[in-house]
A and B are shown apart, each in its own frame.
Chain A
């Protein structure tokens, strides 16, 4: 029983912290803060990369769409001019033939 009490007293006795304790605590807090900072820095940089890449991608897509629309408009223009000139040509030929007949 005495042995148990002695052990208990020893365990609960106030002990002087080691001289490196405070330094260890500060180091641990700093490490924790530094880890959190790295995370946020990486997150911010990652977000910036994503935003810039999205911007480039959207610009590329817009340019592609514009090019497709432009090529389509050019093709339509070609069809329209072909029909117009062909019809004018036919009319011109008919007029010329009838003039010659007269």
Chain B
């Protein structure tokens, strides 16, 4: 009986480690009350499937988006814009940062601008040598953006979405194409 109980407790305790899914902390919702503008997008696998059904294969833009989201399990976006600085603290992001650790997650890009006090980080989750998730964390004095994408994602395909589906075009620079990825500054 004790062994069974220990097994269940261990399962419950280790479940988050097994799942390795990025959970957006609940305290972020508290920031929404302070923010002047909030974008809160939650698309789980069911909603992604539903959205996918409304993307036409005949429309090239829709088809491209459909291809990108085909392997995804969820897209979660939280973006807050504040009237003044200091409305959020670095500690608000601590529950998120604690999840974005090795071995599952690795930071591939980290950009810190002292001029604009902007801090951008890109994390990827690797599963069996493949990208199984992507997280973007952008902090600015008056803005905070968190993006979490669960599932098989190809950053190249994501970049290709620029200029389609109402998404701004990403300037491509073949000279630095390889430098843009896998660089940690």
Contact = CB atoms under 8 A, between A and B. Distances in A.
Contacts of B48: 73, 77
Interface stretch (A15-23, A33-41, A50-58, A86-94): A86-94
A84 to B, nearest CB: 5
A10 interface: no
Contact of A99 (B47, B54, B166, B176): B176
A72 to B, nearest CB: 9
A92 B180 contact: yes
A77 B171 CA distance: 22
Interface in A53-102: 66-67, 69-71, 73-74, 76-96, 98-100
B63 interface: no
Contact of A87 (B42, B65, B120, B165): B120
- For chain A, which range describes its interface: under 10, 10 to 19, 20 to 34, or 35 or more residues? 20 to 34
B165 A81 contact: yes
A80 B179 contact: no
B165 A70 contact: no
B54 A70 contact: yes
A81 B167 contact: yes
A84 B147 contact: yes
Given A94-B111, A96-B179, 7 more contacts: A69-B50, A70-B54, A73-B48, A73-B51, A78-B165, A81-B65, A81-B161
Interface of A: 66-67, 69-71, 73-74, 76-96, 98-100
